[in-house]
Amino acid sequence: MTVKVFQEKDVEAAVPFRVMEDDGTADTRLEPELSSEDLHFLYETMVLNRELDDRLLRMQRQGRIGFYLTGLGEEATHIGSTFALEPTDWVFPAYRELGAALVRGFPLVEFVCQIFGNSGDITKGRQMPNHYASPSLRISSLSSPVGTQLPHAAGCAWAAKIKGEKTVAITYFGEGATSQGDFHVALNFSGVFKLPVIFFCRNNLWAISVPLSRQTASRDIAVKAQAYGIAGVRVDGNDVLAVYQVTREAARRARAGEGATLIEAITCRMGPHSSSDDPRLYREEKDLEEWRQKDPIARFQRYLRWKGIWDEAYEKNLREKIQIRIAEAISKGESFPPPPLESLFEDVYSTVPWHLEEQRLELLALRKEAKH
């Protein structure tokens, strides 16, 4: 008797979906129906994201802020996908999706205040930099432990389903997060309960110094969806239009009651993991060369030129406007004082327990003393 063993190679590997060629031309049958205004918005948001990242990383190097994380090279993944959703859909970010917040209109000054952790930050300086949140924009506060946002998104989608709302939840994470138990829990639960949730994996090939080859023995990330009975799709993560298309389809399925989708967007983390990392210690500069040619912003710019809606004057004007916006946001954001000291004792208990009240009074007395 021969035992039939199922192997991954029995299933055909999915070729990542793409709309734009590297030279900026596109298959017109695959192009999304987006107006010139929409296309410009996408491009401008990607450029703003990159310029902000560049500026803030330099500020960290100058010692003006403590820590920073960029999304360098991955802008198309989160900007294209958030733009494909409704403003009423919930976003559960990791820490590299500033562009998703910019698509939603997150105010730049508030963003800068969050990075400084000062009194202009709605989270009162209690989170690490890049851990912004906005209940009104439906952007959840994220947790630093890798992967915890996946069950949060599944729970949010479950609540929406119970209430009979058409809301979709999207959550972002790197391929490193797929090694966490939370990934299994969230995908399994979403499969069983057919939840309106999108699991968006930015497969940027590195989890700090751990390469993709050490993260999984699977052929790819999207194939894992099969084990949980949900849809899986691979997409070129440096093609903003392809990302938009696959996310739109995942959202349509979710709203139609067809359940969850795992999207694997293939891209590359072009910068360091964070301002505390030196990638020269574990990866070769030459490995990035091929990816530099695939830069998502340069590629989209070639597409806009091919469509006849980009020229040098537009670019020059855009860059100037963005520089002014960033400079104004930084100078305003940097001017806020730190959060009030006594705010340390707020927001945990509705009635502050006696021992914390004692500590609060002691702290205020010490501060008074220090001022004299």
Ligand X SMILES: Cc1ncc(C[n+]2csc(CCOP(=O)(O)OP(=O)(O)O)c2C)c(N)n1
Contacts to ligand X from residues 249-308, by CB under 6 A: 269, 273
Tell me which of 20, 207, 243, 270 binds ligand X, using CB under 6 A. Answer: 207
- Site for ligand X contains 144 (CB under 6 A): yes
Determine the straight-line distance between the first and last CA of the chain, rounded to whole angstroms.
89
- Asked if residues 267 and 77 have their Cβ atoms less than 8 Å apart, the reply is yes
Q: Compute how many other C-beta atoms are within 10 angstroms of the C-beta atom of residue 221.
A: 24
**207 CB-near residues (< 8 Å, 6+ apart):** 174, 175, 176, 177, 179, 215
Among 214, 217, 221, 303, which residue's Cα sits nearest to residue 266?
Answer: 221
**Identified binder of ligand X from the candidate list 109, 177, 197, 242, rule CB under 6 A:** 177
From 25-33, 60-68, 126-134, 138-146, give the range in contact with ligand X by CB under 6 A: 138-146
Q: Pick between residue 70 and residue 167 the one whose CB is nearest to ligand X.
A: 70
16 binds ligand X per the rule CB under 6 A: no
Tokens representing 191 are 């499969």
Cβ nearer to ligand X, comparing 295 with 310: 295
Q: Is 105 helix (H, G, I), strand (E, B) or coil?
A: coil
Helix (H, G, I), strand (E, B) or coil at 201: strand
d(CA 133, CA 139): 5
158 binds ligand X (CB under 6 A): no
Q: Which residue among 17, 116, 158, 173 contacts ligand X (CB under 6 A)?
A: 173
Q: Specify the residue, 144 or 323, whose C-beta has the smaller distance to ligand X.
A: 144
From residue 93 to residue 132, the character string flagging contacts with ligand X as x (rule: CB under 6 A) and all else as - is -x-x------------------------------------
Q: How far is CA 341 from the centre of its chain?
A: 31
Catalytic residue positions?
269, 273, 282
Residues at the site binding ligand X, with contacts judged by CB under 6 A: 94, 96, 144-146, 173-177, 202, 204, 206-208, 269, 273
